[in-house]
A = this chain, B = another copy of it.
Amino acid sequence: MSPRIGLDLDKVVEAAVEIVDNEGFGALTLAILAKKLNIRTPSLYNHIDGLPALKQKIAVFGLEKLFSVMEEASKGRTGDAAIMSVGIAYVNFVRSHPGLYEAGFKPADLDSEEQMAAGAKIVELSLKLLRSYGLNERDAFHAVRGLRSLLHGFASIEQGGGFAMDFDRDESLRFTLERYLAGLKSM
Binding site for B on A (CB under 8 A): 105-107, 116, 119-120, 139, 141-143, 145-146, 148-154, 156-157, 160-165, 167, 169, 171-172, 175-176, 178-184, 186-187
A88 to chain B, nearest CB (A): 14
CA distance A179 to B178 in the complex (A): 11
Given contact pairs A180-B180, A182-B186, A119 touches B164 in the complex (Cβ within 8 A): yes
Whether the pair A172, B142 counts as a contact (CB closer than 8 A) is yes
Whether the pair A160, B116 counts as a contact (CB closer than 8 A) is no
Whether the pair B164, A116 counts as a contact (CB closer than 8 A) is yes
Cβ contacts under 8 Å, A186 to chain B: 182-183, 186
CA distance A164 to B163 in the complex (A): 29
A8 to chain B, nearest CB (A): 29
CA distance A116 to B161 in the complex (A): 10
19 A–B contacts from the bound complex (CB under 8 Å): A105-B156, A105-B157, A105-B162, A107-B161, A139-B175, A142-B167, A142-B176, A143-B176, A143-B179, A145-B163, A145-B169, A146-B150, A149-B150, A179-B183, A180-B180, A182-B183, A183-B183, A183-B184, A186-B186
Residue on B nearest A164 in the bound complex, by CB: B116
Cβ contacts under 8 Å, A145 to chain B: 154, 157, 163, 169, 172, 176
Whether the pair B167, A141 counts as a contact (CB closer than 8 A) is yes
Whether the pair B184, A179 counts as a contact (CB closer than 8 A) is yes
A94 to chain B, nearest CB (A): 12
Cβ contacts under 8 Å, A149 to chain B: 149-151, 153-154, 157, 176
Given contact pairs A153-B152, A183-B181, A106 touches B175 in the complex (Cβ within 8 A): no
Among B163, B172, B183, contact of A180 (Cβ-Cβ < 8 Å)? B183
CA distance A183 to B80 in the complex (A): 13
Whether the pair B142, A171 counts as a contact (CB closer than 8 A) is yes
